Amino acid sequence: MIALTLAEVETIVGGTIHARRGDTAETVVSGVVDTDSRNMTPGGIFVAKPGETTDGHRFVGAAVENGATLALVEHVVDEDITQIVVADVVLAIADLARAVVARVRAHGHLKIVGITGSNGKTTTKNMLLRILQEEGETVAPIASYNNEVGAPLTMLRVTDTTEYLVSEFGASGPGEIARLAGLVTPDVSVVLMVGMAHAGGFGGIESTVKAKTELVQALAPGGTAVLNADDPRVASMAPVAETQGNAVVWFGHAPTADVQAGEMAVSAAGTTCDVQVDGKTLPMSLKVLGAHHVMNALAAITAARVLGVAPETSIARLETVDLAERWRMQVMGNDSVRIINDAYNASPDSMAAALRTLAQITEPHERTVAVLGAMSELGEFDGEAHDRIGLLAVRLRIQRIVVVGAAARRLFISAIGEGSWDGEPVFFEDADAAFDYLKIELRDGDRVLVKSSNSAGLRFLGDRLGGLFS
């Protein structure tokens, strides 16, 4: 974080200072800001956030031991550290992030990119980070820091020398993106796609469209909306940007896209395609597994182009990326039994994309195995969505379908009802039982996809299988 006095922090967050260690209102703080005491470093600012299972106030002492010099708290704790008491620490870090980013923006050359979409946010964020970090100091979220806590904590990592801030905005309901994006008013807003992810929280697909449009509405004057030309729901956001006097730039396969992908070739080594941009045809070869990541790459290339980075440069940097993120199409195991661990998150769109990738990269002499868990936060659409994935897995001729967890049982039943391609689907109540089955069932030549929402926990099953065959 940039250097601020305790008095400045107190004013920004609307709190009250309780000084320790001889600190005064003019004492300067400038360390890392975090809710995890384990991440504290000397000079750090610890945010004592109450949680569902524990209370951050219990860990103020641990934060002190790791070097924290200030704690944002909701009540004073008996620890030797200066504390600023606020009514709500989550609102406080949002206020602090807004003020810090505004100061850096006023004094430097900071450009801000916001990314949202039902799928692909984290991959696109990482791709854009790879492109921009060689242009100048770039701050981007760790993992999926895209909620009411993670987004402000990422923003608070900017310094006076930061040139690019890439913010990822997730949401489980209306108004969340507006609140978070409103903290920084992006110069570039990227909308990847609108799908069924979190549809339960939004109350339907049209409400999801409105929620994602909030990022376009949050654009700074003179900003640019980077929109998916292939998704009609995303395309419908263009008039919102134009009405505000902002520009619109398109990416996708559609001939109207400013950055357009040609035909793709997908293999276990990655995906290749040509990129049409600025009257040129540029070959691109991605190591990241899955054809669906081409759209994420196009979005990153387009956003970087708006910021002045040549597409040729962006492509060259993206071709060095081996892994989008841990647990996202992460290739594990060995040449005989390859595990694709994509179980960090799942929606109907990403589940379908992962299954298609499994089918595309498996050779005729190899066997496809899909280990599937539940997709969460789908609300009233849950049953129908799981039905469709069960049907798709069979129609793609996935040869062994392994369903894990009671919440995914409907997927299992649908696959059985559709009829399997090579052996009946199997069901297990938990990951341990599935592991015991798979360690015996898997054989040389198997290509195994592990896919579920984060809450299903199958990413750890994927890790276990990857270790078993490493």
> In the 3-class helix/strand/coil scheme, how is the chain assigned residue by residue?
CCCEEHHHHHHHHCCEEECCCCCCCCCEECCCEECCHHHCCCCCEEECCECCCCEHHHHHHHHHHCCCCEEEECCCCCCCCEEEECCCHHHHHHHHHHHHHHHHHHHCCCEEEEEECCCCHHHHHHHHHHHHCCCCCEECCCCCCCCCCHHHHHHCCCCCCCCEEEEECCCCCCCHHHHHHCCCCCCEEEECCCCCCCHHHHCCHHHHHHHHHHHHHCCCCCCEEEEECCCHHHHCCHHHHHHCCCEEEEEECCCCCCEEEEEEEEECCEEEEEEEECCEEEEEEECCCCCCHHHHHHHHHHHHHHCCCCHHHHHHHHCCCCCCECCECEEEECCCCEEEEECCCCCHHHHHHHHHHHHHHCCCCCEEEEEECCCCCCHHHHHHHHHHHHHHHHHCCCCEEEEECHHHHHHHHHHHHHCCCCCCCEEECCHHHHHHHHHHHCCCCEEEEEECCHHHCHHHHHHHHHHHCC
Distance of alpha carbon 80 from its chain centroid, rounded? 37
User: Could you tell me the pTM of the whole model?
Assistant: 0.88
Domains present along the chain, CATH in parentheses: 4-86 (3.40.1390.10), 92-318 (3.40.1190.10), 330-468 (3.90.190.20)
Residue 419: per-residue pLDDT: 75
Residue 146: per-residue pLDDT: 79
Q: Mean pLDDT for each consecutive 10-residue tract of the chain (470 residues)? A: 96 97 95 95 96 92 97 97 98 98 93 94 94 97 83 96 95 88 97 74 77 97 98 97 97 97 90 96 94 94 98 98 82 93 90 94 95 90 94 94 96 86 83 97 96 92 94
Q: In what order do the strands lie in the sheet with 280-286?
A: 138-139, 164-168, 111-116, 188-191, 224-228, 247-252, 259-267, 270-277, 280-286
Residue 197: per-residue pLDDT: 55
Residue 423: per-residue pLDDT: 66
Q: Which pair of tokens denotes residue 86? A: 């606020």
CB 393 within 8 A of CB 416: no
Q: Which pair of tokens denotes residue 186? A: 């992006």
Q: Please give the C-alpha separations between residue 257 and each of 123, 149, 235, 285, 295, in angstroms, as whole numbers.
A: 21, 35, 11, 20, 12
Residue 319: per-residue pLDDT: 97
Residue 379: per-residue pLDDT: 84
Rounded to 5°, the CA angle 279-282-284 comes to 150
Residues ≥6 apart with Cβ < 8 Å to 22: none
CB 152 within 8 A of CB 12: no
Rounded to 5°, the CA angle 374-417-198 comes to 25
Q: Which pair of tokens denotes residue 117? A: 């979409």
